[in-house]
């Protein structure tokens, strides 16, 4: 289990992604008219079919390259696309929703656990690990992403969604991956 679990009140992390998110949120708040309700959804890794990073990760896992990334201890907060869309809909139509929310399922996992569950979902019993130096080279080329997104992570949950009673259709990673890959 993680030593520290972050929620909406936690300070921003370090690196490019948190820097960009902070700038976007500041610009949003400055542009929002005083009489307008504003909702910020701080999005985690969205798991869906037919595109995005999940398709590439599943491809790597099927090739036997779905082991832990870097140390494997970094947190991976995630949300199923269905639940993400439900949050978007709620943000649009629920007048009581205001301010910042973490858009993530209630059970973050380590990268090692995420990759193990992904291999299970695609039917690959083993996966070679990806050392940090290799991720720094391959992430921009294969995944078209910043390596720090794979090598660094946080265990993040939404205190506000829990307090407001939002019920996830896919609260656990195993349930989400079973839905996406058809394995139970």
Residue 143 makes CB contacts below 8 A (sequence gap 6+) with 53, 56, 150
176 with 169: CB under 8 angstroms?
no
Please report the sign of the dihedral spanned by the C-alpha atoms of residue 64, residue 66, residue 69, residue 72. Answer: negative
Closest CA to 57 of 174, 134, 175, 142: 142
* pLDDT surpassing 90 at residue 132: yes
Instruction: Quote the pTM value.
Output: 0.91
Find the mean pLDDT for residues 166-182: 97
Using CA atoms, how far apart are residues 117 and 177, in angstroms rounded to an integer? Answer: 8
- pLDDT at residue number 2: 57
- CB count, 10 Å around CB of 47? 25
Closest CA to 39 of 80, 94, 79: 94
Query: pLDDT digits over 48-76, tens only?
Result: 998 788 998 999 999 999 999 999 999 99
- Burial of 29 per CB tally in 10 Å (0-12, 13-18, 19+): exposed
The pair of structure tokens assigned to 128 is 């070679």
- Cα distances (angstroms) measured from residue 33 to each of 1, 26, 36, 91, 156: 42, 13, 5, 17, 30
CATH number of 38-181: 3.40.50.720
Runs of H (alpha helix) within the chain: 16-31, 52-62, 81-93, 111-122, 132-138, 148-151, 159-163, 173-181
- pLDDT at residue number 3: 62
Query: pLDDT digits over 83-96, tens only?
Result: 999 999 999 999 99
Using CA atoms, how far apart are residues 115 and 44, in angstroms rounded to an integer? Answer: 16
61 with 122: CB under 8 angstroms?
yes
Residues belonging to the chain: 184
Using CA atoms, how far apart are residues 175 and 160, in angstroms rounded to an integer? Answer: 22
């Amino acid at each position: 289990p993680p030593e520290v679990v972050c929620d909406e009140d936690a300070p921003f992390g370090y690196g490019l992604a948190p820097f960009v998110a902070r700038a976007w949120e500041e610009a949003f708040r400055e542009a929002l008219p005083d009489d307008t309700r504003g909702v910020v959804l701080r999005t985690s890794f969205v798991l869906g079919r037919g595109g995005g990073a999940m398709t590439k990760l599943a491809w790597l896992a099927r090739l036997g390259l779905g082991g832990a990334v870097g140390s494997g201890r970094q947190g991976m907060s995630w949300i199923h696309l269905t639940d993400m869309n439900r949050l978007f809909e709620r943000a649009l139509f629920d007048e009581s929703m205001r301010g910042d929310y973490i858009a993530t399922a209630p059970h973050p996992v380590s990268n090692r656990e995420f990759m193990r569950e992904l291999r299970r979902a695609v039917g690959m019993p083993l996966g070679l690990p990806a050392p940090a130096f290799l991720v720094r080279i391959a992430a921009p080329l294969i995944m078209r992403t910043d390596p720090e997104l794979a090598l660094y992570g946080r265990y993040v949950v939404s205190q506000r969604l829990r307090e407001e009673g939002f019920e996830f259709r896919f609260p656990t990673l195993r349930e989400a991956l079973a839905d996406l890959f058809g394995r139970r």
